[in-house]
Amino acid sequence: MILPLLACLLLSVFSAFAQEAEPAKSEEDNGYAQISIFAKALELIRQDYVDENKTSYHDLVNAAMKGMLSSLDPHSQFMDPDDFRDMQDDTRSRFNGLGIEVSMKNGLPTVITAMEDTPAAKAGILSGDQILRINGISTERMDLQDAINVLRGPAGAKITLTLLRPSTKEIKEYTLQRAEIKIQSVKGARLLDPELSGPFKIGYVRLVQFNEPTADELSKALDELQKQGMQALVLDLRNNPGGLLNSAVDVCAQFLPPNTKVVSTQGRVASQQHDYSTSGVKKERSTFPMVVLINEGSASGAEIVAGALKDLRRAVVVGETTFGKGSVQNVMQLPDGSAVRFTTAKYYTPSKQVIQGNGVTPNIRVGMTTEQERSLFALRNAGNMKPEDEKSIIKARDPQMLRAIDALKGVMIYAQENAPKAQAVKK
């Protein structure tokens, strides 16, 4: 009796969802028949599998859902109740872990970025590093959520990572200690040293990720810089792994007119076709020249901001092509507190460029060597950097920043030289 009852239960659940979404079916792809096969396999495993403590319905069905979601794409996943709570904590800027944002790439957990002021960043882990082993266990058959579960956990525990750096073919082992990660999303807001900016007042702001307070924190930083006479801005999105979509849109609103479309989504069903625009409430802010810095560690929300400001010609984009994580995941909580996150659409920039798999290409391409990148971000994480030291570091190790400053100076020199001519034409 167990098998027929189980099959009936699964079929009733299937029927409830099938009423909302009815994809084209063939005889070979009949949901009722396939769920009956699944129920049969489930009962065979429960009956005969050698290790009985691994055969509870809860464990088997959860494992099946993990496999189902992970087979779709690198960003879809099943989350048990603890995983789901961890994901919610991310958006609130606090969690326990190593400070690594990871995604699946070429079958391996791959570092999108090591977030600033975290154990991973201080150890010198870089964007693009591939995680080969965690605590000596191969990640070759490990799904993304399993990897995240090991990386996160109570503060104080030590985790050993074996990483491959594709750019140098170097394999290196790191032993890191978990810590409570408190993410300040807006950092480094200041006017650049006059020796770098020349006769102009060029502001600088770095966005570490996009979470709930990011747009408000950025607005306050820009207000303060404008009080100091800022004439142009470098917005640094390097190694920003993204975050909340609404936060990214609200950041764009700091620089664009009201009701400006900054990103759109397209999926299979009409409900996934959506345009996201800046708020209709105008923010009084002067239109200053602007450069956005990007690199391979810029992903998701960072790509939305960079792509929008580039397409709408609000900013010049300098650096390297971004990560290419431009798909929309819906998170649906299930009755037991677990959740499924699955891809429902792709992001498109205002000019209809797809971000997923392509990334955002800069207007001005400037690369950095692995050594330059490693030393620059190591010094950032060292803390207590003196202004004169930072000036020397930018000159010696940050060609992307230097090119951004040169681009802004060129724009402002051109504007100054042509201002009298424009006034004469108006007369």
Q: Which residues are catalytic?
A: 300, 311, 325
Which residues touch 416 (CB under 8 Å, ≥6 apart)? none
Phi, psi (5° rounding) for residue 210?
-110, 105
Rg, Å, the chain Cα set:
25
Give the side-chain half-sphere CA count within 13 A for 415. 12
CB 364 within 8 A of CB 310: no
Residue type, 115: M
CB 125 within 8 A of CB 100: yes
Q: Token pair of 122, please?
A: 């201080």
